[in-house]
């Protein structure tokens, strides 16, 4: 009897990021990182699939990837602006191979089906930010009516229009299941009709 692999989504783990550790109420980066790893591994099984919507960490790439390697599951990365492999960085191509040692795939965005609906996935929302101005607008997908799963906005909102924030800050510092997200997408699209 085979067990079904669960699918999860998350964003903005911000490993090794002292400022995010403080915002999230941790004493230091180490306490923050160990809590993120413990929450993730208590939620995600070793055989599960996780789509990480970017901003894995901030700081030394080797340290970030060593910590990310401790996270359960087959991990796929939709790179964010803090990730060295994000295509918005001039030398991103030089980092791809290293990130592919930890992540099964690395891309700028993806498209998939959830709740019977075509859905886009990106680090960035169509619009919105956790700062006064929308940053990196030239790297954002255009809103053409499809739901979008994103990160980047941290604690600003969980759902905004057709956008769903999969970031840790609105999901109790844990990845969120694809089943929960499919339900949100179904409800969101039913209410928009």
Q: Answer yes or no: are the C-beta atoms of 27 and 169 closer than 8 Å.
A: no
Q: Is residue 1 part of a domain?
A: no
pLDDT of residue 59: 94
Q: Is residue 132 part of a domain?
A: yes
Conformation bin of residue 59: beta by default, left when phi > 0, alpha when psi is -120 to 50:
left
pLDDT at 165 over 90: yes
pLDDT at 193 over 70: no
pLDDT of residue 11: 98
Q: Is residue 62 part of a domain?
A: yes
- Rounded mean pLDDT of the chain? 94
Q: Is residue 106 part of a domain?
A: yes
Query: Which residues are CB-contacts of 117 (< 8 A; sequence separation ≥ 6)?
Result: 146, 147, 185, 186, 189
Over the stretch 23-41, which tens digit does the pLDDT of each residue have?
Answer: 999 999 999 999 999 999 9
Confidence bin at 150 (pLDDT 50/70/90):
very high
Task: Report which of 161, 157, 149 is spatially closest to residue 109, judged by C-alpha positions.
Answer: 149
Q: Answer yes or no: are the C-beta atoms of 154 and 130 closer than 8 Å.
A: yes
pLDDT of residue 26: 98
The strand pair at 49-52 and 148-150 is best described as: unpaired
Q: Is residue 166 part of a domain?
A: yes
pLDDT of residue 191: 81
Task: Report which of 81, 39, 73, 79 is spatially closest to residue 174, judged by C-alpha positions.
Answer: 39
pLDDT at 181 over 70: yes
pLDDT at 147 over 90: yes
The percent helix, strand, coil of the chain (3-state, each to 5) is 30, 20, 50
Q: What is the CATH number of the domain that holds 155?
A: 3.60.21.10
Over the stretch 85-140, which tens digit does the pLDDT of each residue have?
Answer: 999 999 999 999 999 999 999 999 999 988 778 999 999 999 977 877 888 788 89
Q: Is residue 108 part of a domain?
A: yes
Confidence bin at 2 (pLDDT 50/70/90):
low
Q: Is residue 65 part of a domain?
A: yes
pLDDT at 167 over 70: yes
Q: Is residue 2 part of a domain?
A: no
Domain containing 186 equals 7-192
Cα 64 to Cα 57: distance, rounded to the nearest angstrom? 6
- The domain total for the chain is 1
């Amino acid at each position: 009897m085979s067990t079904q692999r669960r699918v999860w989504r998350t964003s903005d783990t911000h490993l090794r990021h002292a400022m995010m550790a403080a915002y999230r109420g941790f004493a230091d980066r180490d306490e923050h990182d160990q809590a993120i790893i413990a929450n993730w591994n208590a939620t995600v099984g070793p055989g599960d699939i996780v789509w990480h919507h970017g901003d894995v960490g901030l700081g030394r790439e080797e340290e970030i990837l060593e910590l990310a390697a401790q996270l359960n599951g087959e991990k796929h990365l939709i790179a964010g602006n803090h990730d060295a492999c994000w295509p918005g960085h001039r030398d991103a191509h030089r980092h791809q191979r290293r990130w592919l040692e930890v992540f099964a795939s690395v891309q700028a965005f993806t498209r998939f089906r959830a709740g019977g609906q075509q859905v886009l996935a990106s680090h960035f929302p169509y619009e919105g930010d956790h700062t006064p101005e929308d940053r990196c607008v030239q790297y954002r997908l255009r809103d053409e009516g499809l739901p979008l799963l994103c990160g980047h906005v941290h604690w600003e909102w969980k759902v905004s229009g057709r956008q769903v924030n999969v970031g840790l800050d609105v999901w109790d510092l844990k990845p969120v299941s694809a089943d929960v997200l499919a339900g949100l997408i179904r409800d969101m699209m039913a209410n928009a009709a």
